[in-house]
Amino acid sequence: MEMPVNFSDYAKWSAILTLVLFGLTILAFILKWSFRFRLVGVTGFIGVLSIGLFGLGLGLYTRQVIPGAVRYYLVYDNSANQVVVSTKPDITPDQVEATLRQAALDLYSPGRLGLGENLLTVRLRTVIHPEEGLSVPLYLGQVKRSLSSREDENMEIDVFTANFARLPEELPPESNFD
């Protein structure tokens, strides 16, 4: 069972509790209550918890899943604007499009550099073996998406349908891509 985790709500309520305890601690020092020093420790502890929950709220995000996307592996990433991913050769054009969308979403990062252009290019390839001892990379598609916006509605997806004719009819039995 998956439970929804919203650390920003937890951080907000924890911060409110910290402020209440801080006010209570000040009141304890003014009235010289005997447990005033214990309140200092409790307030500090809850404050540290609040900061930790705030940090968790910044760092975690839910991963969007594109229906029809297949598993891919990162082959090359220059940490700027070029990425290559690889997948099995038994992929369909619809799966290529969905996998390109998934990879473009997964690999987006606001810290990537454009290096002259504001687009991230993700290419999807597979490896075919036309003859014994020969491996050839075969590009099946690419997507270009914005580097400045997480929600890019104008992704340019190109599926190279001509390359699908070069794919093998069935995978060799010793293929261990997973």
Beta bridge partners of 121: 82, 144
**123, 141 Cβ separation under 8 angstroms:** yes
3-state secondary structure of 14: helix
23-26: which pairs have CB atoms within 8 A and are 24 or more residues apart? none
For the segment 2-59, what is each residue's pLDDT rounded down to a tens digit?
A: 556 678 889 999 999 999 999 999 999 999 999 999 999 999 999 999 999 988 887 7
Going by C-beta distance under 8 Å and a sequence separation of 6 or more, which residues neighbour residue 30? none
**pLDDT over 60 (residue 173):** no
pLDDT value of residue 44: 96
pLDDT value of residue 178: 47
The rounded distance, in Å, linking the Cα atoms of 61 and 109 is 12
DSSP 133: T
- 61: pLDDT confidence band, cut at 50, 70 and 90? low
For range 159-163, the mean pLDDT: 91
Residue 43 identity = T
pLDDT value of residue 7: 81
pLDDT value of residue 1: 47
Burial class (CB in 10 A: 0-12, 13-18, 19+), 56: middle
pLDDT value of residue 167: 85
pTM value is: 0.64
For the segment 93-144, what is each residue's pLDDT rounded down to a tens digit?
A: 999 999 999 999 888 887 777 667 788 899 999 998 888 888 899 999 999 9
**pLDDT over 90 (residue 74):** yes
